């Protein structure tokens, strides 16, 4: 599913990335009831989700727009690029790194 920048769903980690804080800070804000209530819950109400618009508007109103985004589009593009960077860092450059996984020397078998 493709979301526009206003409705892009964010979890605690994405919010932390967007606002340049630690995920624990976002959770602390919510526990202290200074952060907006989640826009939705998923996974049998176990996972909190906010719309980018909710987070962005709150950050601007409270002076927590640490990255100084001008608009929703800038914030959404930043998150998209951050996600791509994270995926690239976690993806092996070459499958050759895994060539020995599960291999064995069959000359020693009876």
2-8 own/partner pairs: CB under 8 Å, 24+ apart: 4/76, 5/52, 5/53, 5/72, 5/73, 5/75, 5/76, 5/77, 6/51, 6/52, 6/53, 6/72, 7/51, 7/52, 7/53, 8/51, 8/52, 8/76, 8/79
**Residue spans per domain, the chain:** 9-91
pLDDT in tens, 45-58: 999 999 999 999 99
pLDDT in tens, 73-93: 999 999 989 888 877 777 665
Topology of domain 9-91 in CATH is Multidrug-efflux Transporter Regulator; Chain: A; Domain 2 (1.10.1660)
In terms of pTM, does the model score above 0.85?
Answer: no
Query: Taking Cα atoms as reference points, which of 105, 109, 10, 13 lies closest to residue 57?
Result: 10
């Amino acid at each position: 599913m493709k979301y526009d920048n206003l409705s892009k769903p964010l979890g605690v980690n994405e919010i932390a990335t967007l606002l340049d804080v630690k995920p624990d800070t976002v959770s602390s804000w919510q526990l202290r009831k200074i952060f907006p209530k989640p826009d939705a819950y998923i996974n049998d109400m176990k996972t909190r989700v906010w719309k980018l618009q909710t987070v962005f508007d709150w950050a601007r109103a409270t002076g927590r727009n640490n990255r100084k985004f001008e608009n929703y589009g800038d914030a959404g593009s930043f998150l998209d690029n951050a996600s791509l960077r994270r995926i690239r860092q976690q993806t092996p450059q070459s499958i050759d790194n895994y060539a020995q996984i599960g291999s064995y020397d069959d000359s020693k078998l009876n």
